[in-house]
Structures are given as C-alpha cells and as structure tokens.
Structure 1
Amino acid sequence: MQICSVCSEQTPKYRCPACKIRYCSLDCYKRHKDTCLPAEKPAPVTPEAKAVLNTEPWTVEDLLHEDDIIDKVPLQRLQQLGQSKELRDLLCNPHLRQLLRSIDSADSKPDAMKAAMQEPLFVEFSDQCLKIVDDEASVSCSDTFDL
C-alpha cells in the first residue's frame, strides 16, 4: 500500500505532473509545490563523457581522505546497500532520485543536505541506509544532523 510522499500518513490520490510523486490532498500539494523538482530527462552522453565513463571504476577508498577514516564503513556493509529491497523500493520514487541528484550537483552540499533533511522521503531513505550499515541500527538521520 502506498502512502503520501508529503505527509506520509494518507493514501495518495494524486500525482504531481512535474515530478510524479504521489500526494493525498490539496494541503500536501501546496506544501510539495515549493520544493518540487521536475523530473529531468537525461542529457545525451557526449564522446568526452563516454571516455570518462570508460576509465577504471572508482572505489570507496577513492572518495575518502585520511581524516575521514573514523567515518569509514566497511565495504561489505556498503555492498549490503545494493542488496536491500527496502532501499530499492525507495529509489523507485522519482522525487527521491531527483533530490539525490540535486544534492550531488549542489555547490554547497551541506546546505543541500540540510534542505533535503526537511523532506520526509529523504529522511526515510537516510534512515534506511543507516539501518543497513550501522551495527546498532539505533541512529536516526534526524539525530545525526542538526536541523
């Protein structure tokens, strides 16, 4: 059973024409329209981009700096993210995918994360990721970030 992507309480009756998320009422639509991110069509891949994509694959270690080692998650746990049905189900939502794209392309990633943490769907996604990679699974994303 689906729930409203805005309030996470009611069964959705409507779909946003721009980003395709589902919502249940006019109030939810009004709340959503201020943060709506229309679904983008993927840009055609240029020959230069193909050359970059065909280079050796990056690893998690490529993304980490030595001072980040305290926050390092073992590769085995990271691989569990790709095996999670719950995470795959969440990633079917085009609104969540667009939020992730906007964070990834933001000039100020901390500001983009802070804004995304106001979205219940993103909080649900973040909590699910933490649940998979964290031993205690007791950390909530809303506890992790000062909102």
Structure 2
Amino acid sequence: MVLCVVCGRENARYRCRNCRAAYCCSACHKTHRDPERPNHCESIQPPSNETGGKNEVEESTDRTDAKEFQTLGSKNGNTALEGHDARLKRGREGETNFIEGERDEDGELVVLGEAHLSELAHDTNIRKKLLSSELQQLLRVIDASRSRIDALEAAMANTPEFKEFCDEVLGVVSAAERGLRPGM
C-alpha cells in the first residue's frame, strides 16, 4: 500500500517521473510539481562540485533520508512523525508493487507491473502482431469504448485473430509471473 505524498491517501497508483514520489490523482500531481507547495518535486540535478562528487542515486537517497521524519497530516487532522523503519517498509512495498504489479484480496494480478510490461514490450511475436492496422484499430475502439470489458469480450468472441493475440499476451504475462514467483 503506497501513500500519496500530497494528500496522504492510500493506493497511490502513479509516480512522478522526476523523483519517483507516489501520488493518487492528477490534482495531487499538479500540486506536487508546484515549487511553492510543501512536498514539491525535487527533480534530480546533475552531479556538481557542491555535492562532493556524489552520483544521482546517492543524491536521491540523501533527499529521501532528509525527508524521513517529515511531518504529515493524518486522516483526522492531527500530525504525526513518521519513523525511518515505517518509511523504508512502505518504500519497499511501493517498489514491489511498481515492479510486480498490484493484486486484489485473492492474490489475482489486477494491474501489470514494470516486469510484465517489459516482457510484453520485448516479445517479438506480440510486436509483429501489433504491426497489423486492423489490430491497432480494434485496440483503439476497445480503449475508447464506454464499457471496455464488454468491448473486449465482444472482440474476443467475434475476431479469432484478436483472441489469438489476447492468448499470446496472457501467455507472456503468465511466463513473466512465473519468473517473478518461482514457487508457482
């Protein structure tokens, strides 16, 4: 469970491209980018003489460590200090969700993680199939549909090539899942 750096809500699904801070919605992202607000984005600066030769990773770690006792508003309006251990634990869980994806209560994968997306992007069969203009158009129609699930099910029932593509995608995701969880 990842907390939004702006409003403190749980299940922050998005991350800042510059500093990797988690946020829950576009309004929080805009607030996070505003340099006049607390918790604003501190984008990584190139190494200079002032940093003593530290690289970007070390500078990012230093910024994270500097924020570890930052005062955050709790849900009932009180303030609380977050300790180092709680922040590190939450950071590890957030990175795991980002890499492995998010799961529901039953343990089913509901949002693909970076590892799954990387496998899909590098699969040559999927890349070849995505060159088809018919498949591209069908994917656009499904994405623009009001009920994407219904449109997806209809496309799978009516278009054998699309069903084959979906089966291939599920196979790649399943293989990536086995790679992430060797005991499966």
Give the TM-score of the pair, scaled to structure 2.
0.36
Which structure is larger by alpha-carbon Rg, 1 or 2?
2
More strand by share: 2
Give the TM-score of the pair, scaled to structure 1.
0.44
